[in-house]
Amino acid sequence: RKQWIRQYGLKSAFVQARVYGVFPTSGTIDTLVDEDLATLALQTSCGDDDTLPLDIGVDCALWGDDLTVIVCRRGNLCLSIDAYGKQDGVFTVGKIKDRVREHLKLKDSDDLDDEVRMERTRIRVDEGGGYGSGVIGPLRAENWRVAGVQNGSQASSEKMRKKYDNLGTELWAED
C-alpha cells in the first residue's frame, strides 16, 4: 500500500479506490467518473429506446483474481452488468448470447439470426493480454458483429491522447 501511495500519489483515484476503498473524488486528474457524477447518474432516469442497437462490452479474465465483466447497454441506458471469475471463453460466449436474448426480448428457442447478430447487436471485446481471443473467435465464426479492442493502447489521435490515458477510456467517454 505504501508503494502504491508513493507511485500514484495520495489523492489519485487508484489509491482512493484500492487503498482506502472509497469512490474517487472529483479533484483527481486520473478520474473519468467521480462520485458526484456517479450519484447524479443514479438519480437520473432515461428510457430504453429499443430502436437502438444493443451494445455489449466484454473484458475477459481467466483463472486469476480478475473477473470477466460483460456490460450491456442501449444508448445511454445500462441494461446489465455481469462479473464472474474462473470461467473460459465458451462460458462467456454463452453468457453473451443469454444477454442478447434477454435484452432483445427473444425466447430461448428463437434463432439468433443474421439480423440479431449483425444489425441489432454490437460487441466489443478487450483483446489485451490475449484473453479475448477465446470469445472473439467463436463469435466471428458465427457471424456476430464483434470488434477486438486494445483498451490499454494509446488513445486514437494526438487530440484524444491529450484528453485520455488510453483507448478504453476514450471509447467509454466519447461513444
Predicted TM-score (pTM) of this structure? 0.77
- Work out the pLDDT band at 29, boundaries 50, 70, 90: low
Answer with the residue of higher pLDDT: 30 or 51: 51
* pLDDT tens-digit readout, 1-19: 788 888 888 878 778 877 8
DSSP 127-167: -GGGTTHHHHHHHHHTT--EEEE-TTSPPSSHHHHHH-SSH
Residue 169 pLDDT greater than 70, yes or no: yes
